[in-house]
């Protein structure tokens, strides 16, 4: 039987509880965009919520930072895929509705720095914002 490589250990109970709280909020980027009038609420979020494990230097395929470093993102903001229940939209139309996707990390980081200045780089900023919401500071 082939062993599957895991880049970080499995989450402990506290980490799993944190993961579930983050996922229950839905996509943190869509939530921010809707709250700030950047995205129509009628569009909802861009697919189901997925957990993004942050990487060293915020680069795709980089070494994971661990189970404490996660961000809840919709399918679009995480992988750049669109929602099958909507009529087909081009990539430009998706970006118009939902903003940039982490699939295009450079664009995503620049936009994140514009809307969350001083929060950190890319997904680091979104985790900080997510944690503020989870702690009731926002």
> What are the average pLDDT values for consecutive 10-residue runs of the chain, which has 138 residues?
59 92 95 94 88 81 84 91 66 85 89 93 93 86
- 9 domain residue, yes or no: no
Residue 124 lies in a domain: yes
Check if the beta carbon of residue 72 is closer than 8 Å to that of residue 28. Answer: yes
User: How many domains, in total, are found in the chain?
Assistant: 1
pLDDT score of 103? 87
pLDDT of residue 86: 61
The pLDDT assigned to 106 comes to 87
Which pLDDT belongs to residue 30?
Answer: 95
For residue 15, tell me if it sits in a domain: no
- Residue 13, domain member (yes or no): no
How far is Cα 112 from Cα 130, in angstroms, rounded to an integer? 13
> Residue 3 has what pLDDT?
44
| Domain presence at residue 100 | yes
Does residue 3 fall inside a structural domain?
no
Q: Is residue 50 part of a domain?
A: yes
Domain of 75, in residue numbers: 26-134
What is each CA distance from 11 to 18, 67, 127, 136, in whole angstroms?
Answer: 10, 6, 17, 24
pLDDT the model gives residue 62: 74
């Amino acid at each position: 039987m082939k062993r599957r490589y895991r880049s970080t250990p499995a989450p402990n109970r506290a980490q799993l509880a944190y993961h579930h709280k983050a996922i229950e909020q839905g996509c943190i980027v869509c939530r921010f965009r809707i709250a700030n009038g950047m995205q129509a609420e009628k569009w909802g979020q861009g697919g189901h919520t997925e957990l993004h494990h942050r990487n060293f230097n915020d680069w795709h395929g980089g070494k994971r930072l661990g189970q404490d470093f996660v961000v809840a993102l919709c399918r679009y903001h995480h992988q750049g895929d669109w929602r099958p229940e909507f009529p087909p939209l081009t990539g430009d139309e998706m970006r118009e509705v939902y903003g940039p996707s982490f699939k295009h990390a450079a664009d995503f980081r620049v936009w994140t720095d514009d809307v969350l200045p001083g929060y950190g780089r890319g997904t680091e900023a979104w985790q900080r914002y997510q944690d503020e919401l989870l702690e009731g500071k926002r």
